[in-house]
Amino acid sequence: MEEKIKALLAEVESFSSQDTKEIETFRIRLLSRKGLIPALFDEFKQLEGDDKRKYGKPLNELKQKAQGKIEELKAGADGSGQHQANRFDLTRPAPGQFPGTRHPVNLVKNEIIDIFKRIGFNVSEGPEIEDDWHNFTALNFPEEHPARDMQDTFFVARNPEWALRTHTSSVQVRAMEANKPPIRTISPGRVFRNEAISARSHCIFHQVEGLYIDKKVSFADLKQTLLYFAREFFGADTKIRLRPSYFPFTEPSAEMDVYWGLKDEVDYRMTKGTGWLEVMGCGMVDPNVLENCGLNPEEYSGYAFGMGVERIAMQRYQISDIRYLFENDIRFLQQFQSAL
């Protein structure tokens, strides 16, 4: 008995491991129901008198040492050691993960781009700092003409020939200068206007403008394209209407509205009581513009349209103040579709 206790004690003292499996094997060998230590206890039960008194204490000490050692090693071991289990509540649900979301302006912009790509439009981009020619003159804004006041402009202080573009129609001028018809392109991008910031307007916003130039393009083509867009974006039963309007670069010009309905108070507010939402400006490209861009208006005609992305995003997501779209408040942004 004495020998066996000594031998096991030595084994307990010398054993060391950081491997959870090894420690467990050791525990089973010594302490499980059929292990060496319980076997010694069985032997101990057979003893009598003095022997029983002599070995009781050392046997208990051996058992405690073995248990202590195993606890200690488990605590230091990798994986799911006892130590870790005490420090962390492994049953607690993991906190939510926020992998980032797409900005509502980008969601809407990408959707608009996709819709036009499906009918053969490509995407053109251009500079945000523009010269007077591309932003105004080529687009039939006569110099000193009050039409330029329609779009209050930020000029570049160092060079008043340059301005931040007030619309992406400037990109369409570049597209016409650089390509031969047929031209079928949309120009998404950021534009800038010197306007007081309020719930409804901002000095920076995004547009998607479109341009189609070819032989014999008619107003009917424009109407059908806009109807297609409205039905893809707002739903299959969407109704549109075109109201006469004015832009220097289109003739005739129109404003396209989409029928929204007047079911509740929100509809009244959004449509100013008319039931119709203003969605975009459009028209047939003015012959002067074609000529300015090197195209013969006798040979070619075309249509153009342009819409504000923020306005449409606000309608789609019922956002009451345009400033939310620029503040990057995480509580606001997290409500939109995940970027993954």
Q: Does 282 bind ligand PHE (CB under 6 A)?
A: yes
**Among the candidate windows 72-80, 219-227, 304-312, 316-324, which touches ligand PHE by CB under 6 A?**
304-312
All residues at 6 or more sequence positions from 21 whose CB lies less than 8 Å from its CB, including other chains? none
Report the alpha-carbon distance of residue 168 to residue 125 in Å, rounded: 9
Which residues on adjacent β-strands are paired with residue 190?
206
Q: Which of residues 248-267 bind ligand PHE (CB under 6 A)?
A: 250
CB of 207 to ligand PHE, least distance (A): 6
Secondary structure (3-state) at 32: coil
User: Residue 26 interacts with ligand PHE (CB under 6 A)?
Assistant: no
**Segment contacting ligand PHE by CB under 6 A, of 97-105, 107-115, 299-307, 327-335:** 299-307
Chain length of the chain: 340
Give the residue, chosen from 205, 229, 234, 305, that forms a contact with ligand PHE under the rule CB under 6 A: 305
Of the listed pieces 34-42, 153-161, 266-274, 277-285, which binds ligand PHE according to CB under 6 A?
A: 277-285
Among residues 304, 312, 314, 322, the one that binds ligand PHE under rule CB under 6 A: 304
Q: Is 281 in the site for ligand PHE (CB under 6 A)?
A: yes
Residue nearest to ligand PHE (CB): 306
- 225 interacts with ligand PHE by CB under 6 A: no
Which residues are CB-neighbours of 91 under 8 A, at least 6 positions away?
none
Residue 277 CB, shortest distance to ligand PHE, in Å, is 16
Please, is 169 exposed, middle or buried when counting C-beta atoms within 10 Å of its C-beta (0-12, 13-18, 19+)? buried
Q: Shortest Cβ distance from residue 254 to ligand PHE (Å)? A: 8
| Interaction between residue 167 and ligand PHE (CB under 6 A) | yes
Q: DSSP assignment of 113-169, as one string?
A: HHHHHTTT-EE----SEEEHHHHTGGGT--TT-GGGGGS--PEETTEEEEEE-SSTH
Q: Which is nearer to ligand PHE, 12 or 211 (CB)?
A: 211
Based on the shown chain and the rule CB under 6 A, indicate whether residue 188 belongs to the binding site for ligand PHE: no
Distance of alpha carbon 55 from its chain centroid, rounded?
A: 73
3-state DSSP assignment of residue 243 = strand
E strand or H helix at 160:
strand 159-164
CB of 237 to ligand PHE, least distance (A): 26
- Side chain identity at 76, as an amino acid letter? G
Residue 205 pairs in a beta bridge with 191
Q: How far is the CB of 261 from ligand PHE (least distance, A)?
A: 25
Q: Which of 129, 112, 100, 101 is nearest to 311 (CA)?
A: 112
* Nearest-approach distance from CB 212 to ligand PHE, in angstroms: 11
Shorter beta-carbon distance to ligand PHE: residue 22 or 251: 251
# of chain residues touching ligand PHE (CB under 6 A) = 11
Regarding 169 and contact with ligand PHE (CB under 6 A), the answer is yes
Least distance in angstroms from the C-beta of 109 to ligand PHE: 15
Residue of 212, 208, 203, 296 lying closest to 250 (CA atoms): 212
> CA–CA separation, 127 vs 60, rounded Å?
85
Q: Based on the shown chain and the rule CB under 6 A, indicate whether residue 302 belongs to the binding site for ligand PHE.
A: no
Binding marks (x or -) toward ligand PHE, 99..128, rule CB under 6 A? ------------------------------
Find, among 191, 254, 188, the residue nearest to 227 by Cα: 254
Distances (CA, A) of 57 to 5, 9, 41, 44, 158: 11, 13, 11, 11, 95
Least distance (Å) between residue 209 CB and ligand PHE: 5
Rounded to whole angstroms, the Cα distance separating 118 from 29 reads 71
Asked whether position 209 contacts ligand PHE by CB under 6 A, the answer is yes
The answer to whether residues 194 and 154 touch, using CB atoms and an 8 Å cutoff, is: yes
- Which lies closer to ligand PHE via its Cβ, residue 55 or residue 141? 141
Footprint of ligand PHE on this chain (CB under 6 A)? 167, 169, 209, 247, 250, 281-283, 304-306
